[in-house]
Amino acid sequence: MIELDLEKIKRDVAEVFERYGRDPARMIEILQDLQDIYHWLPKELLKEVSRQTGVPLTRVYHMATFFKAFSLKPRGKYVIQVCTGTACHVKGAYMVLDQLKNVLGIDVGETTDDLMFTLETVNCVGACALAPVVVINDYYHGYVTPGKVESLIKEYREQQ
């Protein structure tokens, strides 16, 4: 269960408004900056934006759902994309994926409760020579084996 710090949300929203003012015309920039902080837009955050701007919540929601760049589903600080294209599939991508599911305790499309990791699959990322490939944020990891998964995750956990 994801727990959100409502006081932090209030502070972060107020801080973003200091940059843009409470100008509804700058709502996209406001939501973009907030998503940069949280990696997604929780309901509590949209409510706070609505409360502080006076823009109806339905309108704030409308903007947040209209643009694909915004996510209303939890997203981790690190988005792990396992390539399941043909070359990676042949070299064991699904075994790597299964091990990632085990280590993280989540399924594809889900995010860990500590909001550190989101697990996704993608098709060929254009690095077939390195198969199987796992992309974490923008960093490509090649020749990943199930045995390397635990230390890879540990490495990212320690980076925070």
Q: What backbone phi and psi angles, to 5 degrees, belong to 114?
A: -85, 5
Binding region for ligand FES (CB under 6 A) out of 35-43, 66-74, 85-93, 147-155: 85-93
Determine, following the binding rule CB under 6 A, whether residue 145 of this chain makes contact with ligand FES: no
Beta bridge partners of 117: 78
Burial classification of residue 127, based on how many CB atoms lie within 10 Å of its CB (0-12 exposed, 13-18 middle, 19 or more buried) = middle
Identify any residues that bridge with 122 across adjacent strands, giving them in sequence order. 83
Query: What letter represents residue 36's amino acid?
Result: D
DSSP class of residue 109? T
Query: Does 128 help bind ligand FES (rule: CB under 6 A)?
Result: yes
Q: Does 131 bind ligand FES (CB under 6 A)?
A: yes
Check: CB of residue 19 under 8 Å from CB of residue 33.
Answer: yes
Q: Does 13 bind ligand FES (CB under 6 A)?
A: no
Taking CA atoms, 55 is separated from 30, 62, 117, in Å, by 13, 11, 32
Calpha distance 93→10 (Å, rounded): 42
CB 138 to ligand FES: min, Å: 15
Q: Binding residues for ligand FES, how many (CB under 6 A)? A: 12
Query: Rounded to the nearest whole angstrom, what is the least distance from the CB of residue 114 to ligand FES in the complex?
Result: 28
Query: Out of 95, 108, 125, 136, which residue is the one contacting ligand FES (CB under 6 A)?
Result: 125
Please say which residue, 65 or 86, places its beta carbon nearer to ligand FES. 86
- 80 DSSP β-pair partners: 119, 136
Under the binding rule (CB under 6 A), the answer on residue 95 touching ligand FES is: no
Residue with smaller CB distance to ligand FES, 83 or 153: 83
Binding footprint of ligand FES on the chain (CB under 6 A): 83, 85-88, 124-128, 131, 133
